[in-house]
Amino acid sequence: MRIMGIDPGLTRCGVGIVDVDGHRRSQFVSVHVVRTDSDAELPARLLQLDQELSALMDTYQPDFVAVERVFSQLNVRTAMGTAQASAVALLNATRLGIDTALYTPTEVKAAVTGYGRADKAQVTSMVTRILNLSSPPKPADAADALALALCHAMRGVGQQRVAEGLARQAQ
Amino acid sequence: MRIMGIDPGLTRCGVGIVDVDGHRRSQFVSVHVVRTDSDAELPARLLQLDQELSALMDTYQPDFVAVERVFSQLNVRTAMGTAQASAVALLNATRLGIDTALYTPTEVKAAVTGYGRADKAQVTSMVTRILNLSSPPKPADAADALALALCHAMRGVGQQRVAEGLARQAQ
């Protein structure tokens, strides 16, 4: 199964792609950061993000898209942009019939590092190890996007296997 | 010129269409409220809103789309949904090459009633009078969407005429 993790943002939107097998082993595929010009008008930025995410989904054909759930404790202006970027990401996936899930930063950190309050360095370090990368993914948005994909690989696929196992037992 | 005003929201998204002539006389065309089920998943709601706004733009072929600028003083959960709905509205217009503008609630109220702190009843009353409607548009989201279109008719078209006048004087 191919999972695309998206760390939404208007200025920088991280997109990480991993493949995961039935034993929850994850393999790195690719990572991208879509940037839009913070001096440009909002509609133009949304359109650029829309087009670039659409192109990435077309290129990598993910089976699943995991997006970071937007929170409010951030700077309000940033939170609005993040909410709008997440809408663009979810809309693109849903238009293509790709299933999506939203994960909170705490869920992502817990899945990847075992600790919900891990810092960025710990997340980057674990992403690098889990995916056997020769160097840490940069910038932080890239590592976060891969962590989102890994979070779904660990949680989502795990839950799916449990559900399948229960279904088999019930037969 | 045909103007579509959009009062963004995930639960209720008001869409008001007016035609305005060179003398800034506005004529009512249509008003709609797109609703999505608050129990549905976010991606499905975004997709439904996307499809319905796309269909309305296709039907009415607006020359201009005016969208309410999202603010933070609202309930945070509502503000996130509003931000995401506004992204869907702006993206649809921009994809079709339609120019857009964002107006704050204060700008809309001031344009329509002459008073930036007017209440909903005053806005609805003025929208009803300006457009010569036989009864007030309902619900409030419908009146707000028409007020947004009228705001652009009064401000945007006015500014454009001033710019054209200055251009003529300069020749």
Q: Average per-residue pLDDT in chain B?
A: 90
Specify the pairing of strand A64-68 against strand A2-7: parallel
Our answer to whether residue B39 is catalytic in this structure is no
Residue B163's domain is classified under what CATH number?
3.30.420.10
Instruction: List the strands of the sheet with A26-35, edge to edge.
Output: A26-35, A12-20, A2-7, A64-68, A99-103
Beta bridge partners of B13: B34
Number of domains in chain A: 1
pLDDT in tens, A26-63: 999 999 999 999 999 999 999 999 999 999 999 999 99
Cβ separation of A94 and B70 shorter than 8 Å? Answer: no
List the domain range (segments joined by +) for residue A70: 2-170
Contact, A127 vs A146, CB < 8 A? yes
pLDDT in tens, B27-77: 999 999 999 999 999 999 999 999 999 999 999 999 999 999 987 655 677
ipTM confidence score? 0.82
Per mean pLDDT, which of A133-137, A156-160, B163-167 is the most reliable? A133-137
Instruction: List the strands of the sheet with B64-68, edge to edge.
Output: B26-35, B12-20, B2-7, B64-68, B99-103
Residues 6+ apart with CB under 8 A from A37: A45
The answer on pLDDT for B164 being more than 90 is: no
Q: In this structure, which amino acid lies at residue B121?
A: A
For helices A76-95 and A42-60, give the axis angle rounded to 10 degrees: 40
Q: CB-hemisphere CA count at 13 Å for B153?
A: 29
The answer on pLDDT for B161 being more than 60 is: no
Tell me the shortest Cα–Cα distance from B64 to chain A, in angstroms: 13
pLDDT in tens, B81-103: 899 999 999 999 999 999 999 99
The whole-number average pLDDT for the span A62-86 is 84
The answer on pLDDT for A135 being more than 80 is: yes
Comparing CA positions, the residue from A1, A48, A39 lying closest to residue A20 is A1
C-alpha distance across the termini of chain B, in Å: 25
Chain A positions touching B42 (Cβ under 8 A) are: 90, 102
Chain B positions touching A88 (Cβ under 8 A) are: 87, 91
Structure tokens at B149: 């279109």
Beta bridge partners of B5: B16, B66
User: Which of B42, B84, B100 is opposite residue A43, by nearest beta carbon?
Assistant: B100
Residues 6+ apart with CB under 8 A from A130: A26, A112, A150
Q: pLDDT category, A23, cuts 50, 70, 90?
A: confident
The answer on pLDDT for A157 being more than 70 is: no
Structure tokens at B117: 């702190």
Q: Which helix (H) or strand (E) holds B169?
A: helix B140-170
User: Which of B47, B72, B91 is opposite residue A46, by nearest beta carbon?
Assistant: B91
Tell me the shortest Cα–Cα distance from B34 to chain A, in angstroms: 17
pLDDT in tens, B89-148: 999 999 999 999 999 999 999 999 999 899 999 999 999 999 999 999 988 889 999 999
- Which residue in A has a C-alpha nearest to residue B43's C-alpha? A90
Using only the alpha carbons of chain A, give its radius of gyration.
16
Percent of chain A with pLDDT over 70: 88
pLDDT of residue B123: 94
Cβ separation of A43 and B93 shorter than 8 Å? Answer: yes
Chain length of chain A: 171
pLDDT of residue B167: 59
Q: In this structure, which amino acid lies at residue A110?
A: A
User: What pTM, to 2 d.p., does this model score?
Assistant: 0.86
B143 exposure class (CB count in 10 Å sphere: 0-12, 13-18, 19+): buried
Taking the mean position of all CA atoms in its chain, how far away is CA A20?
A: 14
Cβ separation of B102 and A42 shorter than 8 Å? Answer: yes
